[in-house]
A and B are shown apart, each in its own frame.
Chain A
């Protein structure tokens, strides 16, 4: 019900937003006001989260800071959630969105994704240390825990032959894994990575398999902001050239993803 209300309200908001007169060019606006406003997550460790002072820190705020530095303006971070991030951008409330958003064709109709895509999430498995599973094929016939609604549960089951039993949310499958009811937990790699930063999981568990089913994430600008989009494309290419994202992964203890390494190789 809540979701429905939100969807309706946001759609209404977007319609209202689209009839308002558009302004000149966001890049000029940013320079005129001297501040770049970036929407980031504040509840997605280590990509964007709060420190006890209330500041939002993480891999994505670092990227945002880099963009502000390139523009020579101050940075303002606005916490966003999945439900409002595209709306904020379409409204012009934020200039740029770097908020763990998967790139999807239907989303490109609402906001403009910046190519080359800056990051990619994968599907991976959280396994107990010392597990006999060394490659995806070893999962055949094993019981895996998963989260209801994850699109890849079926794909993994069909391709590699494990039996995936799905639970609501991520706390229940994690509890089952701890209780030894399943051989591993198949979920978003970025989430598993976050879990492995937790002392409770770091010691007994690991993520030894390579990520599969790459899901790229996109940084977005408002539709039609060609100048800013071009600037962001150049920035993205420069990050890949310098290996900025590879470095940030190290800084925030995110295990190196194959995507970041590959893009760094490609543009080096």
Chain B
């Protein structure tokens, strides 16, 4: 029943992240050395220092998009998850289908639909409310986040042993009271690790917003590469820099998730 935890095995996360650190460090050092080897150009380090403020401002944009998407996704995902668990059959079916729909749609396609179909501004009572691409991207990433949070919640609730429901019933709790006072409080710690994993995944995927023209880090990296004369030897260091930024941000989250997973391990 613990669907949420077998989707993101902690050991796999650990191995991948260590390997990624090693690879990105290797690529970075190797390519820097290669590019530095004798030419009239500025060294790779000089170029990176020159453009770092711009690239990092792009990265902050990724973080902003990821945090907002996760916030909206969680706020919408919890009610959706509750809908899935509803004892009202049609409501549960609707919750299930909505969750499945957004969980199984490719993230990039959802992003495209949001960016292309939402208007670039709203007019409310003669007032122009701009609706920039990055906000549309937040909507685009919130949809899969919502569906995944919904599923995480469902998994967490179902992972609570049925004995708890039965005991609560015998103590005179009704279904609603059991859910809110007994089951859900136990779910929070069960949900936390997969929820954080989901956040990491959303953060990584925010770079796909570059395809729809949001000025996030990957877009900036490509533009910086062009501004430096599109030299092929700069590709590896510039993109490795982007990779390192994401890694430095996501790795501690991964470690923390692992720690929480160990700490909250369900022993039943």
Chain A interface residues (CB < 8 Å from chain B): 2, 5-6, 9-10, 12-13, 16, 20, 33, 42-45, 49-54, 79-81, 84, 87, 91-93, 171, 175, 194-195, 197-200
Contact: A45 with B229, CB < 8 Å? yes
Does residue B163 face the partner (Cβ distance < 8 Å to A)?
no
Bound-state Cα–Cα, A14 to B50, Å:
39
**With a CB–CB cut-off of 8 A, which chain B residues contact A79?**
213, 215, 219, 223
**With a CB–CB cut-off of 8 A, which chain A residues contact B117?**
12-13, 16
Pick the residue among B113, B128, B227, B231 that contacts A9 (CB under 8 A): B113
Bound-state Cα–Cα, A170 to B54, Å:
26
Distance between B113 CB and nearest chain A CB, rounded to angstroms: 7
Give a binary string over B199-232; 1 marks a CB under 8 Å from any A CB, 0 the rest. Answer: 0000000000001110100011011111101111
Does residue B262 face the partner (Cβ distance < 8 Å to A)?
no
Bound-state Cα–Cα, A44 to B225, Å:
10
**With a CB–CB cut-off of 8 A, which chain A residues contact B128?**
33
Contact: A13 with B54, CB < 8 Å? no
User: Is the interface on chain B under 10, 10 to 19, 20 to 34, or 35 or more residues?
Assistant: 20 to 34
Pick the residue among B51, B112, B115, B226 that contacts A45 (CB under 8 A): B226
**With a CB–CB cut-off of 8 A, which chain B residues contact A52?**
50-51, 53-54
**With a CB–CB cut-off of 8 A, which chain B residues contact A42?**
223, 226
Bound-state Cα–Cα, A13 to B39, Å:
47
Other than the known A92-B120, A194-B230, A195-B229, what 5 A-B pairs have Cβ atoms closer than 8 Å? A2-B108, A5-B109, A45-B226, A52-B50, A79-B213
Known: A44-B226, A79-B215. A93 touches B120 (CB 8 A): yes
**With a CB–CB cut-off of 8 A, which chain A residues contact B230?**
45, 194
Name the CB-closest residue of A to B215: A79
Bound-state Cα–Cα, A9 to B113, Å:
6
Distance between A207 CB and nearest chain B CB, rounded to angstroms: 16
Contact: A199 with B222, CB < 8 Å? no
Known: A2-B211, A45-B227, A45-B229. A12 touches B116 (CB 8 A): yes
Does residue B40 face the partner (Cβ distance < 8 Å to A)?
yes
Name the CB-closest residue of B to A78: B213
What are 8 A-B residue pairs whose CB atoms fall within 8 Å in the complex?
A2-B108, A5-B108, A50-B226, A81-B213, A84-B213, A92-B120, A171-B232, A200-B231
Bound-state Cα–Cα, A8 to B120, Å:
19
Contact: A200 with B213, CB < 8 Å? no
Contact: A194 with B223, CB < 8 Å? no
Name the CB-closest residue of A to B130: A93
Known: A49-B223, A79-B215, A200-B39. A6 touches B120 (CB 8 A): no
Name the CB-closest residue of A to B210: A81
**With a CB–CB cut-off of 8 A, which chain B residues contact A10?**
116
Name the CB-closest residue of B to A170: B230
Bound-state Cα–Cα, A9 to B213, Å:
14
Known: A50-B54, A171-B232, A198-B231. A20 touches B40 (CB 8 A): no
**With a CB–CB cut-off of 8 A, which chain B residues contact A199?**
39-41
Name the CB-closest residue of A to B232: A171
Contact: A197 with B227, CB < 8 Å? no
Distance between B238 CB and nearest chain A CB, rounded to angstroms: 13
Known: A79-B215, A87-B116, A93-B120. A50 touches B223 (CB 8 A): yes
Contact: A6 with B231, CB < 8 Å? no
**With a CB–CB cut-off of 8 A, which chain A residues contact B39?**
199-200
Does residue B119 face the partner (Cβ distance < 8 Å to A)?
yes
